[in-house]
Amino acid sequence: MAIATTNPATGEVIKTFEPYGQGEIDQALDKAQQAHVRLRGTSFADRASWMTRAAELLEAEADDVAAMVTTEMGKTLTESKAEALKCAKAMRFYADHAEEFLAPEADVDPADVNASAARVEYQPLGVVLAVMPWNFPLWQAVRFAAPALMAGNTGVLKHASNVPQCALYLSDLFARAGFGEGAFQAVLIGGDAVASIITDDRIAAVTLTGSVGAGSSVAEVAGKSLKKTVLELGGSDAFVVMPSADLETAAEVATKARVQNAGQSCIAAKRFIVHADAFDEFSKHFLAQMEKTVTGDPTDEATTFGPLSSEQGRKDLQDLVEDARAKGATILTGGEVPEGPGWFYPATVITDISPEMRIYGEECFGPVASLFKVDTIDDAIALANDTEFGLSSNAWTTEEQEIDQFTSRLAAGAVFINGMTVSFPELPFGGVKKSGYGRELSQLGIREFCNAKTVWIG
């Protein structure tokens, strides 16, 4: 894939970039290693002051940054600005909490281990390669970078090929904030250049957010080199609605959960599983809400969601819809590619879905909702879990017993009751099954790229 900024709202190629050659990659890895040696000798207080400065710069530059994000991948300006501000919040969170999260732990009675002192110290691993996707081009990178830098690691960012300006901006932001050159560097390369970087001795570990295919390739290479990986992969999150729920509110939130970021979110609700006693009422509200959404110019405040990020992304989505239609699904609304420039796609609701349709099992990365009717809570949970993914699940009910059933039996990295899945710096984020492994955010996230070193003193 060419490394280029192409406006998804118009299809216009705005700027292209030469991929880095081996010499530039080598230089970047050297600088990252030198920066790590420097950074691990700095105090939490120093790093916190630079991270806070990065947050301040990002907040001050949020309007320009938002315009850049919207131009590169098509989300609305409102969503782009909210993403920039969320990144600043996460930076402040780790500036404030990193020291406490990584404080030495001395929970063991030294006498029990024949020592005068025994503790666990959390120390940085070194240079971490971060392979990141375009859908939240700031947030995905920052939720890795903020804890990693605060721990004293450095990062090499291989961002998606369609968001090179976002990549270069983040590199520059952390350097300007005080972390200095090399602490978090973008390398403009394609996916084919990733393997040789993973195996390079200067790289200590790898994190990837992206598709199952990319995760699996990266994990294979990292596994052979015995390097730690964190993988945040796809999702096909269920959104279960039970009769006791406030169905109108559930339908409103369901719509937001499906169409935010034009549906291109790993944690977007994708499969709407509704109890038969609530199905007609919920479907009526859900359809009305989905039909109310406005697709169009992402810079217009009246727009609910902008274009998909690429022509290929739209084709993949339409292929899933056509496959379902051909196999007997009912398209309740949407489902047609609009005329005109840009990679727009309307809010779509599909029902009468069966397991032989691709949409039943594959991740649907766009504003297309699959709607299912079930008779019991057991059927709802079985259907919700009948997926190779396990990122998050949503359930709507006011019955305490049902809440317990959902929280204990839904097979996912997170369960959100009476709300949509959202990531917070304060809460761990990650999946099970093919949604990946490891956790980002919270205390768990910052410890992923640390050596939990046992210290025993006789």
Among 74, 133, 334, 366, binds ligand NAP (CB under 6 A): 133
Taking residues 134 to 173 in sequence order and writing x for each that binds ligand NAP by CB under 6 A, - otherwise, the string is: xx----x-----------------xxxx------------
Strand 205-209 versus strand 184-186 pairing type = unpaired
Does 177 sit near ligand NAP (CB under 6 A)? no
Is residue 266 part of the annotated active site? The answer reads yes
Contacts of 182 (CB under 8 A, 6+ apart): 28, 31, 32, 34, 35, 154
Q: Which is nearer to ligand NAP, 173 or 233 (CB)?
A: 233
Task: Exactly one of 72, 83, 232, 362 is catalytic; name it.
Answer: 232
Question: How far, in Å, CA of 146 to CA of 307, rounded?
Answer: 29
- State in angstroms the smallest separation of the CB of 279 from ligand NAP: 28
Give least dist CB 448 to ligand NAP, A: 13
Instruction: Find the shortest distance in angstroms from Cβ 19 to ligand NAP.
Output: 9
Note whether 132 binds ligand NAP by CB under 6 A.
yes
Active site residue 232: yes
CB 332 within 8 A of CB 322: no
Is residue 194 at the binding interface for ligand NAP, with CB under 6 A as the rule? yes
Q: Site for ligand NAP (CB under 6 A): how many residues?
A: 31
Rule CB under 6 A: say whether 234 interacts with ligand NAP. yes
Q: How far is the CB of 111 from ligand NAP (least distance, A)?
A: 44
235 lines the binding site for ligand NAP (CB under 6 A): yes
Query: Of 166, 266, 364, 450, which is the active-site residue?
Result: 266
Among 164, 210, 306, 366, binds ligand NAP (CB under 6 A): 210
390 belongs to the binding site for ligand NAP (CB under 6 A)? no
Residue 447 Cβ, how far from ligand NAP at the closest point, in Å? 18
- Where on the chain is the footprint of ligand NAP (CB under 6 A)? 1, 131-135, 140, 158-161, 190-191, 194, 209-211, 214, 217-218, 232-235, 266, 363, 365, 391, 431, 435-436
